[in-house]
């Protein structure tokens, strides 16, 4: 019997699509074998849609017995080349596993299947009167399982931390098809190693996450969004210090350069936020819990203006304006990728090193990319910068990417020198695997390899990704 026939026997004919069985057009089929890196071509023949954990287990057992490689696939919004099937792997998409399983009103936790789109997790949480606080611009397409497999961050990390902080339990299928259940609906469970943490950030190399239990929290009563303009990067850091000291809970602290704003205005047709243009903009969101917080906000703004850190500023007057301010920040990735071919770098630095790093980085970029457009933005409050090099229009794609590949090691060694990480939140995948040693020691990498062998003895999950 063919592979298609054998897998169809396990999970049903309707849940397997092959490149040649005519159930899906080629473009859509290929889109399940790539992510948002746009650097790799899909080259695979079978796309599987398990409906539950047992289906996943049957697929993995089959792959284990027949030495077939698997690419676990979420919403394919990744920026590290983790969900790429380019070497005839089988793609296992969790898209049909998107149901709510349970809500526990005592622990305030939500259990869902791992293929649920992140925005739907937000909706279900809100229906129960709570919030799931991990949020970023791709949540309309990403899966909660993919978020956990990449240990996603986003725009609220300064307040709530990475997704790791919000995962109480999970069900996974490991490399021989066995189903493991880690923790669940309890807060306290000191019974040895907490294995679920190994799967957060594992990028599909240890197993397939099929169900997750998430901690929810209270919905903020209200928020206030402020947009500042400033002329110097170091002032962004000074403003951050003042915001951190204020009794107001800081919900987000983001920045963008004027070039990023320009691309968003151009692509999304939004208005310029200020009368004049400025080199840098800061978007700050605060939680407003009670009337007194408005006084705190006023004091904070006075302090910032008194220290002459800001050239201009505006407080959102209503929810529409809040959304517009957020568009300036959240519209950047989309605007850049529609308008340009981009080489992205998602990096993190200790905040105290940020100023000297930026200075060194700027001179490196000037020397290595003379005349190239650079678009810099990011979750600066948690030390995360998104560095985007835009391809000059008269340069061939291959020349552009090969020159970026040559400069990357110099950039990474600068990051290493300043105690940072070559990947803040997007992961390693295929994109940065050659550079992992800039952030992890050879001995750490060897321990990771050994851990992979424990969960995936035949190396069938995402071979060639991460290391």
Ligand X SMILES: Cc1cc2nc3c(=O)[nH]c(=O)nc-3n(C[C@H](O)[C@H](O)[C@H](O)COP(=O)(O)OP(=O)(O)OC[C@H]3O[C@@H](n4cnc5c(N)ncnc54)[C@H](O)[C@@H]3O)c2cc1C
Q: Which is nearer to ligand X, 137 or 243 (CB)?
A: 137
333/11 Cα distance (integer angstroms): 37
Binding mask 148-167 for ligand X (x = CB under 6 A): -xx-xxx-------------
Residue 381 binding ligand X, by CB under 6 A: no
Which token pair is 330?
A: 């959240």
Q: If you ran DSSP here, which 8-state letter would residue 26 be given?
A: H
Q: Which residue in 45, 55, 203, 293 binds ligand X (CB under 6 A)?
A: 203
Q: Which residue in 63, 138, 243, 309 binds ligand X (CB under 6 A)?
A: 138
Contact 251, 204 (CB under 8 A): no
Specify which residues 208 forms β-bridges with: 173
Stated as kind and residue range, the H or E segment containing 10 is helix 3-11
Residue 209 binding ligand X, by CB under 6 A: yes
Contacts 24+ apart (CB under 8 A), 291-299: 293/247, 293/248, 294/224, 296/246, 296/247, 296/248, 297/224, 297/226, 297/248, 299/246
Q: Which residue in 90, 208, 214, 239 binds ligand X (CB under 6 A)?
A: 208
Count Cβ atoms within 10 A of the Cβ of residue 220 and give its class: 0-12 exposed, 13-18 middle, 19 or more buried.
middle
Q: How far is the CB of 31 from ligand X (least distance, A)?
A: 11
Residue 273 binding ligand X, by CB under 6 A: no
Q: What is the footprint of ligand X within residues 325-354 (CB under 6 A)?
A: 333-334
Measure Cα distances from 246 to 133, 254, 299 in Å: 22, 17, 9
Q: How far is the CB of 40 from ligand X (least distance, A)?
A: 12
Could you identify the residue written with the tokens 């320009």? 262
Residue 285 binding ligand X, by CB under 6 A: no
Q: Which is nearer to ligand X, 313 or 420 (CB)?
A: 420
Binding mask 98-137 for ligand X (x = CB under 6 A): ----------------x---------------------xx
Cα four-point dihedral sign 222, 268, 95, 433: negative
Q: Which is nearer to ligand X, 45 or 254 (CB)?
A: 254
Q: What is the footprint of ligand X within residues 408-447 (CB under 6 A)?
A: 425-426, 429
82/427 Cα distance (integer angstroms): 8
Size of the site for ligand X (CB under 6 A): 38
Q: Which is nearer to ligand X, 75 or 169 (CB)?
A: 75
463: helix, strand or coil: coil
178/235 Cα distance (integer angstroms): 53
Q: How far is the CB of 13 from ligand X (least distance, A)?
A: 23
Q: Which residue in 184, 201, 204, 420 binds ligand X (CB under 6 A)?
A: 204
Contact 7, 48 (CB under 8 A): yes
Q: Which residue in 18, 53, 55, 82 binds ligand X (CB under 6 A)?
A: 82
Q: How far is the CB of 138 from ligand X (least distance, A)?
A: 3
Q: Which is nearer to ligand X, 77 or 345 (CB)?
A: 77
Q: Which residue in 73, 257, 335, 345 binds ligand X (CB under 6 A)?
A: 73
90/88 Cα distance (integer angstroms): 7
Q: Characterize the bridge pairing of strands 70-73 and 100-104.
A: unpaired
297/379 Cα distance (integer angstroms): 21
Residue 74 binding ligand X, by CB under 6 A: yes
Binding mask 16-55 for ligand X (x = CB under 6 A): -------------------xx-------------------
Contact 124, 100 (CB under 8 A): yes
Could you identify the residue written with the tokens 């077939």? 68
230: how many CB neighbours lie within 10 A of its CB? Answer: 23
Interface residues toward ligand X, by CB under 6 A:
35-36, 71-79, 82-83, 94, 114, 136-138, 142-143, 145-147, 149-150, 152-154, 203-204, 208-209, 333-334, 425-426, 429, 462
């Amino acid at each position: 019997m063919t592979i298609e026939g054998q897998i169809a026997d396990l999970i049903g004919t309707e849940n397997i699509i092959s490149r040649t069985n005519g159930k899906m057009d080629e473009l859509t089929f290929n889109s399940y074998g790539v992510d948002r890196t746009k650097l790799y071509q899909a080259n695979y023949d079978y796309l599987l849609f398990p409906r539950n954990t047992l289906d996943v287990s049957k697929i993995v057992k089959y792959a284990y017995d027949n030495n077939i490689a698997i690419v676990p696939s979420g919403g394919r919004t990744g920026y590290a080349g983790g969900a790429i099937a380019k070497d005839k792997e089988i793609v296992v998409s969790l898209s049909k596993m998107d149901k709510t399983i349970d809500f526990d009103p005592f622990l305030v936790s939500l259990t869902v299947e791992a293929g649920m789109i992140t925005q739907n997790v937000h909706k279900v949480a809100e229906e129960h009167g709570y919030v799931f606080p991990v949020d970023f611009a791709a949540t309309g397409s990403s899966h909660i399982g993919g978020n956990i497999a990449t240990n996603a961050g986003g725009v609220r990390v300064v307040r709530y931390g990475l997704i790791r902080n919000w995962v109480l339990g999970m069900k996974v299928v490991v490399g021989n098809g066995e189903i493991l259940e880690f923790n669940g609906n309890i807060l306290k469970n000191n019974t040895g190693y907490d294995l679920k943490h190994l799967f957060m950030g594992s990028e599909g190399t240890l197993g397939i996450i099929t169900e997750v239990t998430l901690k929810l929290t209270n919905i903020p009563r209200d928020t206030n969004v402020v947009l500042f303009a400033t002329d110097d990067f170091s002032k962004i850091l000074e403003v951050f210090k003042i915001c951190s000291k204020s009794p107001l809970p800081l919900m987000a602290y983001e920045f963008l350069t004027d070039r990023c704003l320009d691309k968003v205005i151009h692509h999304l047709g939004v208005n310029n936020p200020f009368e004049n243009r400025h080199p840098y903009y800061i978007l700050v969101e605060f939680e407003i819990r009670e009337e007194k917080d408005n006084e705190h906000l006023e004091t904070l703004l006075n302090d910032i203006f008194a220290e002459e850190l800001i050239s201009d500023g505006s407080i959102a007057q209503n929810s529409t304006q809040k959304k517009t301010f957020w568009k300036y920040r959240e519209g950047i990735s989309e605007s850049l990728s529609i308008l340009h071919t981009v080489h992205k770098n998602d990096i993190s630095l200790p905040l105290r090193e940020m100023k000297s790093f930026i200075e060194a980085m700027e001179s490196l970029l000037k020397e290595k990319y003379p005349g190239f457009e650079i678009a810099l933005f990011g979750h600066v409050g948690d030390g995360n910068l998104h560095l985007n090099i835009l391809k000059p229009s008269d340069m061939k794609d291959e020349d552009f990417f090969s020159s970026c590949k040559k400069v990357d090691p110099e950039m990474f060694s600068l990051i290493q020198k300043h105690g940072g990480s070559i990947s803040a939140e997007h992961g390693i995948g295929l994109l940065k695997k050659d550079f992992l040693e800039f952030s992890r020691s050879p001995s750490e990498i060897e321990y990771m390899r050994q851990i992979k062998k424990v969960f995936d003895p035949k190396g069938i999950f995402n071979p060639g990704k991460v290391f």
